Amino acid sequence: MTQEVRFCRADDGVRIAWARHGSGPPLLVVSCWLSHLQHDWQSPVWRHFLDDLGDIATVLRYDERGFGLSEWEVSDFSLARRVADLEALVAATGLDRFAVLGMSGGAPVALAYAHAHPERVTRLVLYGGMAGGGLAQEDSAAEEAFLAMIKAGWARPDPLFRRVFTNAFIPDASEEQMEWMDELQRTSTNTDNAVCSRIARHEVDVRDLLPGITVPTLVTHAEGDRVAPDWGTRLATAIPDARLVMLESRNHVLLADEPAWPVFLHEVEAFLAEDRAGVPVSNLSAREREILALAAEGLDNSAIAERLTLSVRTVERHFQNIYLKLGLSGRTARAAAVARALT
């Protein structure tokens, strides 16, 4: 698959990188802290997430501030700041309603967003997530040791210290997969950001929001997860009507060759089935419907631009938003959108 990378600005001016690929209903992935929009495609750890989710949805994902292709010169990694970044990203995509996948450390952001904007979230998937601060709140001595390892070894060429985190995330991985995770840590951000973001994450606590989550929710969690132990059951118990699927794995990041991966994918695909049934053209903005109607008359982009006194580039951007909202992509997207309008 090919992805389209774009950039937007948070309300404090920080540059946020985001990308989309795949086809189907929109699925916004609230990023976990280790990501890189480009390098993830070469990853033996993440590539199957991108390929397989892209087969069932139009996947929108982003690098958090301080990571990947997003701006690194930042200091505020608070939950409020991360939610505001997500709100800015949603505005940039032009999406009205969409499913949300909160992964690992992105789960609290997804939960806070779904709580604040239930009218926009069609359904919520949580994978390997938690609602509280985790280790720092439960074992301060251990957390101090982890922070010391980050400071000592994050930027080192050899992965001695980073391998500790890799072993926690994917204990059943192959050596190739572990080496890639070792390197991703160094590639995704610098030492200062790794330390500051970890401290901020462990101060997060959105447990009070869980009873107020009203969107349909699927909680998925590995039974042997050592990064977020027991959180699957705790989330599903606290969120009204949430469905819990426990996965037979010890890995916090599910790997392509383990039995838990197809189970997870099947559950997500079935959960998104109602969204996949098709978004009506009436959900488009008035301008988008006008442009689509002209396309149905047989006008190309130049003719539409002339008719509406717009630039061709503006018409192209409207079509990109139309395809995204209708869950269409590829060479047949325009014809499918026109067919949807005529129907």
Contact 222, 258 (CB under 8 A): no
Phi and psi (nearest 5°) for 340?
A: -65, -40
Closest CA to 85 of 103, 59, 109, 58: 109
How far apart (Å, rounded) are the C-alpha atoms in residues 246 and 68? 30
Mean of pLDDT over the chain: 92
What's the pLDDT band for 324 if we cut at 50, 70, 90? confident
| 135 pLDDT higher than 70 | no
How far apart (Å, rounded) are the C-alpha atoms in residues 183 and 178? 9
Contact 131, 228 (CB under 8 A): no
Contact 191, 152 (CB under 8 A): no
| 139 pLDDT higher than 90 | no
β-strand 243-247 against 121-127: which pairing, if any?
unpaired
DSSP 2-61: --EEEEEE-TTS-EEEEEEEE-SSEEEEE--SS--TTGGGG-TTTHHHHHHHHHHSEEEE
β-strand 15-22 against 217-222: which pairing, if any?
unpaired
For 170-194, how does the pLDDT look when each residue is reduced to its tens digit (9 = 90+)? 999 999 999 999 999 999 999 999 9
Q: How many CB atoms lie within 10 A of CB 311?
A: 11
What percent of the chain has pLDDT above 70?
Answer: 96
Residue with tokens 């750890």: 45
Lowest-confidence range among 1-10, 203-212, 317-326, 329-338? 329-338
Calculate mean pLDDT across residues 202-210.
94
Domains annotated for the chain, with CATH where assigned, are 4-134+204-276 (3.40.50.1820), 281-342 (1.10.10.10)
| 137 pLDDT higher than 60 | no
Contact 142, 134 (CB under 8 A): no
Lowest-confidence range among 39-43, 66-70, 135-139? 135-139
Calculate mean pLDDT across residues 200-207.
93
Positive or negative torsion for Cα 267, 239, 169, 155: positive
3 state DSSP class of 209: helix
Chain centroid to Cα 142, Å, comes to 29
pLDDT of residue 320: 85
Phi and psi (nearest 5°) for 273?
A: -55, -40
pLDDT of residue 23: 82
How far apart (Å, rounded) are the C-alpha atoms in residues 24 and 313? 24
Contact 14, 65 (CB under 8 A): yes
Lowest-confidence range among 58-67, 140-149, 209-218, 241-250? 140-149
Q: Which residues pair with 58 in a beta bridge?
A: 22, 26
pLDDT of residue 138: 59
Contact 26, 95 (CB under 8 A): yes
Tell me the chain's radius of gyration from C-alpha atoms: 21
pLDDT of residue 136: 47
| 280 pLDDT higher than 80 | no
3 state DSSP class of 313: helix
Phi and psi (nearest 5°) for 167?
A: -60, -35
pLDDT of residue 94: 86
For 25-49, how does the pLDDT look when each residue is reduced to its tens digit (9 = 90+)? 899 999 877 899 999 999 999 999 9
What's the pLDDT band for 278 if we cut at 50, 70, 90? low
Q: How many CB atoms lie within 10 A of CB 118?
A: 14
Closest CA to 37 of 15, 12, 57: 15
pLDDT of residue 279: 64
DSSP 271-321: HTHHHHT---GGGS-HHHHHHHHHHHTT--HHHHHHHHT--HHHHHHHHHH
Residue that wins the pLDDT comparison between 141 and 260: 260
Contact 327, 23 (CB under 8 A): yes
